[in-house]
A and B are shown apart, each in its own frame.
Chain A
Amino acid sequence: MTAATAPSASPASPGLAPRSGSRRRRGRAAAHTALGILFVAIMLFPVYWMVNASLAPGGNSLNTTVLPLRPDLGGYTRALADQGPNLVTSLIVAIGAAVLSLVLAAPCAYALAQFRIKGTGVLLFLILVSQMVPGIVIANALYTAYTPLGLINTIPGLILADATAGVPFAILIMRAYLETFPTSIVEAARVDGCGHVRAFWSIVLPVSRNSLITAGIFSFLFAWSDFLMALTLTTGESIRPVTLGLYTYIGTNDTDWSAVMATAVLSSLPAVVLMIAAQRYIAAGATGGAVK
């Protein structure tokens, strides 16, 4: 259909082509933008509705209006009172998992990209396959291993388990970057008497800052969003990430939707903040981990 209309557009008015053509083009661009905004608005409607419902007046969202004209922060007060400690737990676990992921992944990615040592092919294959392993497989096994080790209901236990998402991803992202890293720079430093460790610490790491940030942001978000490990590897209320807090909140509190939605908003904040503040790293990570 477009094939038929596109060529017919040009011979329509050859005389006054330049002006009306550019105006028409501008009009079409505006229409494209408008339609694009509509698509994004439909896609992001649930996010809007989450914010809207969290501000609904009267302590419950049953009378949610289309626009929060009389925003009520009561939902947030109750959410913070109930979920405040859980938010802190989530923050500690997510930062811990991001740091652990980077500490494990950065040297490994460098070695995989630059050293030709035996066994790296196997390791790389295992890392690729590991992304295929369902979380429930890991949870099943970790629960049985954590119980005798006393790691159930502990922050380190959660950090170690949550890094299962970050470690393979960080290795793949950083390796993809370090493959393009010119060997000559490190070689030159090594000729000058610099060992592998120093070359890595003072040359490779500073230069690969961007891929470190991308890997760190995603490892943080993976751990922050984790639900399954929190659900299976904690049993009480003492150590409870906000995702699990939200889940139990839905079950016990389904009349107070504005508090539930306020918790959902609070638990979504890191993603939103990072998406705005670190847009280009997010864009790099969105495709970098998958297409090799």
Chain B
Amino acid sequence: MTTTASTVPGVPAPVATEGSAPARRRRRGADQALVRYLFVAPAAVYVLAFFGYPIVKNLVMGFQAYDFTTFFTGHAPFIGLENYTATLTDPIFLRALRNTGLFTIGSIIGQFVIGMGLSLYFRRRFPLSGALRSMLLLPWLLPMIASAAVWRWILEQDHGVLNRVLTGIGLIQESIGWLTTSDTALISVIMVNIWLGIPFNVALLYSGLQAIPEELYEAGQLDGATGWKSFRHITLPMLRPVVGVVLLLGVIYTIKVLDLILGLTGGGPANATQTLATRSYEMSFIEFDFGRGAALSNILIVIALLFTVVHLRAGARAAEKG
């Protein structure tokens, strides 16, 4: 938004030079038009090959019996909706769908609430606030699999620091197998993902908060809007576009999380942390049934697409109103 506004001052400049060398320009025009396309071409080819092709390929594979033998014979017969019916009637699919929903909702709520709290806190000016806030970004930059490894060690049943602390202060009697019992595995994975997502939420929400003009709060203060009231009536409405982006990106990133779950639990125990993404990986690369794997990942794309459409429509409605 800011970027489009700031290009405006630059617009008159080319108009001023327009008349100075029209002939030379026209002569070079044809070659230069081609050159312009050459600027875009490599990236366009890459995007088509590494995003366009995979999407089309997954759509097609979803209708094929694409398995181990395909890699030897090259044959992948079309089997209609068989992959989808097999997927939808699979009890593990329903489990994975439910887990994906819980994982996404739980992670988003946790990340957003804590992220919002932290960005409001670090918005105040106090010594070291900038340095501390930038340190908060660290978990986001670490390789996810490294985070998964350390959390696995923290949550380890017999020697993990969490159980040692909890038994030490007498909060629990026996150590809990956070990642190894079906009751707690999903909750633990959600907790770790919340930890991972907080930095991203803080970064975006904080920059959104910075963009709210100080005068609004000063004016609000005169009308008695301080504390919760000013948050409710000034901060939240002003922050709405950023909140929309944060939540949408949060959902899109969260439903496809794979590294973290594979690193922490591998989808287990007994599918307790199986999601659509991990199940798709399992079908393709463990069972070597790429048709079923593709069907699952297509369902994942459709869900991501639905959220995007909802977000864009909400944005359009807000624009109409405003």
Contact = CB atoms under 8 A, between A and B. Distances in A.
B141 interface: yes
A208 interface: no
> Which one of B121, B126, B139 has the greatest number of beta carbons of chain A within 10 Å?
B126
Contact of B146 (A50, A143, A147, A190): A50
Contact of A107 (B40, B55, B161, B207): B40
Contacts of A76: none
Contact of A145 (B57, B136, B161, B280): B57
Given A134-B297, A136-B281, A144-B57, 6 more contacts: A2-B226, A30-B127, A49-B153, A134-B258, A143-B284, A196-B35
B181 interface: no
Contacts of B138: 44, 47, 271-272, 275
B300 to A, nearest CB: 5
A115 B37 CA distance: 9
B42 interface: yes
Given A167-B46, A227-B143, A291-B242, A138 B149 contact: no
Given A61-B153, A268-B146, A279-B134, A144 B51 contact: no
Interface string B48-85: 00111111011001000010000100000000000000
Contacts of B199: 286
Interface in B70-120: 71, 118
B54 A138 contact: yes
Contacts of B305: 132
Contacts of A261: 149-150, 153
6 contacts: A32-B124, A33-B128, A40-B135, A43-B195, A43-B198, A292-B1
Contacts of A147: 71
B7 A179 contact: yes
A221 B58 contact: no
Contact of B143 (A32, A133, A197, A224): A224
Most chain B CB within 10 A, of A160, A231, A265, is at A231
Cβ-closest 3 pairs across A and B: A184-B13, A2-B227, A141-B54
Tell me the interface secondary structure of chain A in the complex: helix
B191 to A, nearest CB: 11
B135 A44 contact: yes
Interface of A: 1-3, 6, 29-30, 32-33, 35-37, 39-40, 43-44, 46-47, 49-50, 53, 61-62, 64, 103-105, 107-108, 110-112, 115, 117, 119-120, 123, 126-127, 129-145, 147, 160-161, 163-164, 167-168, 171, 176, 179-184, 187-188, 190-191, 193, 195-197, 200, 221, 224-225, 227-228, 231-232, 243, 246-247, 250, 257, 260-261, 263-265, 267-268, 271-272, 274-275, 279, 282-283, 286-287, 290-292
A36 to B, nearest CB: 5
A133 B58 CA distance: 11
A46 B46 contact: no
Interface string B176-212: 0000000000000000000100111001100110000
Interface residues of B, number: 110
Contact of B136 (A43, A111, A188): A43
B300 A134 contact: yes
Contacts of B37: 117
Contact of B161 (A64, A138, A171, A227): A64
B299 to A, nearest CB: 10
B21 to A, nearest CB: 5
Interface string B274-291: 000100110011000010
A110 B229 CA distance: 45
Contacts of A107: 38-40, 42-43
A49 B160 CA distance: 11
B146 A290 contact: no
A191 B143 contact: no
A63 to B, nearest CB: 8
Contacts of A180: 3, 6-7
A195 B32 contact: yes
A137 B55 contact: yes
A224 B146 CA distance: 11
Contact of A32 (B17, B32, B126, B285): B126
Given A132-B304, A133-B54, A147-B71, A286 B137 contact: yes
B143 A3 contact: no
B251 to A, nearest CB: 10
Contact of A1 (B126, B127, B227, B284): B227
Contacts of A264: 146, 149-150
B36 interface: yes
